[in-house]
């Protein structure tokens, strides 16, 4: 799938590496900030002695995981549907 854009635009194939470098460069600070922000909910809950705040933090994590799994399932279904359609197009 990564070579699709390179086949369409052979003169701009080097751009793939620049885009990947940019994506990694933005992902690293995001995950570092996420790592630093997770204990914030815990520390706030310890100070107020409120377990509900920890649940709010866990809901955010759980919602992200549900969205990621749902997107992966839809991607797999779409790929299978495209494969079935291309297989049916080849039959007479």
Q: Are residues 35 and 5 in the same domain?
A: yes
Inter-residue contact 73 to 54 (CB < 8 Å):
no
C-alpha 30: how far from chain center = 12
Residue 2 — very low, low, confident or very high, per pLDDT cuts 50/70/90?
low
Over residues 6-33, the pLDDT tens digits come to 777 778 778 878 888 999 999 999 888 8
Domain end call among 15, 31, 49: 49
Alpha carbon distance 4, 16 (integer Å): 11
Q: What is the C-alpha separation between 8 and 23, in angstroms, rounded?
A: 22
Domain residue limits at 19: 1-49
Mean pLDDT confidence for 44-73: 83
**Please, which pLDDT band fits residue 54 given cuts at 50, 70 and 90?**
confident
CA distance 54 to 45: 6
Residues 62 and 76 in one domain: yes
pTM: 0.47
**What is the rounded distance in angstroms from the CA atom of residue 3 to the CA atom of residue 17?**
12
């Amino acid at each position: 799938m990564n070579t699709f854009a390179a086949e369409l635009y052979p003169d701009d194939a080097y751009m793939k590496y620049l885009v990947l470098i940019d994506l990694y460069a933005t992902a690293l600070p995001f995950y570092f900030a996420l790592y630093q922000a997770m204990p914030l909910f815990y520390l706030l809950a310890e100070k107020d002695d409120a377990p509900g705040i920890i649940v709010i933090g866990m809901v955010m994590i759980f919602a992200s995981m549900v969205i990621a799994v749902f997107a992966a399932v839809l991607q797999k279904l779409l790929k299978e549907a495209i494969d079935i359609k291309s297989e049916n197009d080849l039959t007479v």
